[in-house]
Amino acid sequence: METKRVICMQCHNACRLAAGVEGDRLISVEPDETFPGTRSSYPITKGCPRRRNVIDYFYHPGRLNYPLKRIKGRGDNEWQQISWDDAFAEIGERIKQITDRFGPEAMATTSGTGRTHDEIRQRFFNLLGSPNHTGAGQICYGPFCVMSNVLFGWRLFPVVRDNTKCILLWGGGGPRYWDVFWKSAVNARQEKGAKIIVIDPRGIDSTKHADLWLQNRPGTDCALAMAMINHIIEKDLYNKAFVDAWCHGFSDLKQRAAQYPAGKVAEITWVPEDKIRQAAQWYATLTPGVTNHGMGIEHLHNAVETLHAHFILSALCGNVDEKGGDIFTTPYSGIVHEQEIAAHDRLSDSQVNKTLGIDRFRLMSRKGFDLVQSHLQRVYGNEAFARTSYEAFAHGPSLYRAILTGKPYPVRGMITLSSNPMVTVPNTRLVYEALKSLDLYVVADFFMTPSAQLADYVLPATTYLERPWIWAYSGIVGSERAMPKTLEGRYDRRDDYDIWRGLGLELGQEADWPWESLEDLYDYRLKPAGLTFREFMDRGGFLSSPKENRRYQKSGFATSTGKIELSSKTLEALGYDPLPRYDEPHESPVSRPDSAAHFPLILITGGRHLPYYHSEHRQVASMRKMHPDPLVQIHPDTAAGLGIEDGDWIWIESPRGRIKQKCRIFEGIDQRVVHAQHGWWYPEKEGAEPSLHGVWESNVNVLIDDDPDICNPISGGWPLRTLLCRVYKA
């Protein structure tokens, strides 16, 4: 049996695995014990249900094997197998028709969670001339990375060390989100007496190990953070020497924070005053400390403001770039960076300015990106362009509206790769109507999905086992191809590189795709390291960057002032409030008592549930057996009052529609809040319309609002944790 080193891309842990292969048969996929980074993550990788069931996944009879072309109405689930040559030629011709008639901006793309090479997708679209790349970035890790860049000039990364005294977990960040971090946090508490503070509306697993749990009203986190800042300043608990030397805007912050006394904030947040003060005091005095978070903050209407306040806490207490605190990752310099591959310089300013939503949601667009990148380059040079930690997107909700209305201009074609907008994008009804109305819709995926059912062409993609991979973060890790991507008579799947290049060649981009394969591109990217991809893998497939703390003492922070910008010059330059400010959610019992009379419960969603990852894996029987149905968590008193019992199917209804999930009685949630699972569809159900694999039945995005007027005014993110609903027995 031959062993291949691979990186698992079935979630973001990116575990290094050893794939056992005999001929063209996959025999086993086990944790790679030879890999230097494996030791701490070994128990997680070992127990992971996605890894344990990967052979069922890989050989699933539902895998897409050849390109498919729609032969009847959109959504009729009638397909004809075609060759890759025909697929590229036909799709290329239809893209040409759209761009000739409406301009290149009439073509758009949707991406997923960054587990493909988005820089290659961006290259295709930049060369084509379209800025309309949308994705989950505005409600995923994007705002964290962006706001970290805005305040500090690089991406903050919490690492628990022996000297860490306080661990603040905000809106997730515990087990199942980042298990390696969580394990080190629990060890620090048990062995060194570090305190764990959890801020979360739900009593998730991490609260069992917490010294203090602040169970806040969903959506009020920014007020809570501002109250902690206020207490720390009022009581002189902050690191004065660090703030004086390295922070900009302290006095403005002090004035703003004074608007958030603990008493007032206790009423807003439902968190008792003494707990707010206790959390602030521990965090400020038990240093160094780390702050980790899940997606709970990114999913708020107030996401950017909350992250801003959360980062200010770290700065005030002297935890930034401090061993045992929140450090900076080091960019890896020995590789051609992703921004060069993305070819951003090939998109003209006039096309950049056509990005949908760029005038309104400026931070996570090229406007914000260019501003921040100019400071980063001063300190980090070209390294600032290695694995981007700054995302620039078109605004998804604005894009779907442009498809439907033709305003501000027509968008007529879309390519979806590594995403499933019918399940993962808010306001499913609107998304459905938009996709149905396109002149061209292409989906590349591993399996047929509700989104793929609406496509004109469906292209079969390679999994991490059938493709090579370079994962560059702070250092680089490589993955080799374990399985062939083509087996005569059985399947012919393509890497995302092959797909974008194949389309590029049809569209006259030959000169810009000199690398015939992904391996060739990796050879090019590794040239500065003096290695080919094969040589890199033969030497272990791993290169790390030297670690360096307090780089700012030599070069300052990569911001316009060279300091941490508590009051942000970048936000100010983009026309936003430079300081964090709490706003009540648009749809809450406080802001909409009229609506709350009919929809009395607060709906939150987005918490992780094994063995799935977002909308993936439900077709694999061995995984589905572990978690057969969607579950909604309800407090026992709330359920009893509504005559609902554990295991009952119940309707969850918002002003936008209703879905069904099974009741899971849960003590750890407030009586006024319910948590519904996301990502649900039923691969086993009828694929043709109207079912679309049961996409309307339990999919929480049917309930979510995406009106640009209620999106975060800075990032454009849509609220997933602050909506109103009612529940009743189905």
* Nearest residue (CB) to ligand SF4, 10 versus 420: 10
Q: How far is the CB of 609 from ligand SF4 (least distance, A)?
A: 14
Which of 11/312 has CB closer to ligand SF4? Answer: 11
**Residue 726: φ, ψ to 5°:** -130, 160
Output 44 or 265, the one with its CB closest to ligand SF4: 44
Q: Which residue has the tokens 């439900």?
A: 618
Given a contact cutoff of 8 angstroms between Cβ atoms, the answer to whether 426 and 385 are in contact is: no
Return the number of the residue (175 or 630) whose C-beta is nearest ligand SF4.
175
**Which one, 7 or 415, has the nearer CB to ligand SF4?**
7
Judged by beta carbon, residue 50 or residue 117, the one nearer ligand SF4 is 50
- Rounded Cα gap, residues 291 and 311, in angstroms: 9
Site residues (vs ligand SF4, CB under 6 A): 8, 10-11, 13-15, 44-45, 48, 50-51
Instruction: Tokens for 36, please give them.
Output: 């230097």
Alpha carbons 383 and 379: distance in angstroms, whole number: 9
Residues 115 and 11: their CA atoms lie apart, in Å, by 8
Shortest distance (Å) from residue 45 CB to ligand SF4: 5
Q: How far is the CB of 13 from ligand SF4 (least distance, A)?
A: 4
The closest of 243, 328, 325 to 289, measured between CA atoms, is 325
Return the bridge partners of 214, or none: 199
Nearer to ligand SF4, 8 or 87 (CB): 8
Instruction: Report the residue number, 195 or 387, with the smaller CB distance to ligand SF4.
Output: 387
- Minimum CB–partner distance for residue 206 and ligand SF4 (Å): 17
Q: From CA 109, how far away is CA 32, in angstroms rounded?
A: 35
Give dist(CA 372, CA 154) in Å, integer. 10
Q: Which is nearer to ligand SF4, 10 or 560 (CB)?
A: 10
Residue 453's nearest CA partner among 682, 704, 128 is 682
Smallest gap from residue 505 Cβ to ligand SF4 (A): 33
Nearest to 445 by CA among 426, 428, 468, 422: 422
Contact 293, 162 (CB under 8 A): no
- State in angstroms the smallest separation of the CB of 450 from ligand SF4: 23
How many whole angstroms separate alpha carbon 378 and alpha carbon 153?
Answer: 10
Sequence-ordered alpha helix ranges (H) in 205-297: 221-234, 240-246, 250-257, 262-269, 273-285
Nearest approach, Cβ of residue 649 and ligand SF4 (Å): 29
Q: How far is the CB of 532 from ligand SF4 (least distance, A)?
A: 26
Task: Give the residue among 319, 328, 329 at the shortest CA–CA distance from 165.
Answer: 319
Cα(412)–Cα(438) distance, integer angstroms:
5
To the nearest whole angstrom, how small is the minimum distance from the Cβ of residue 47 to ligand SF4? 9
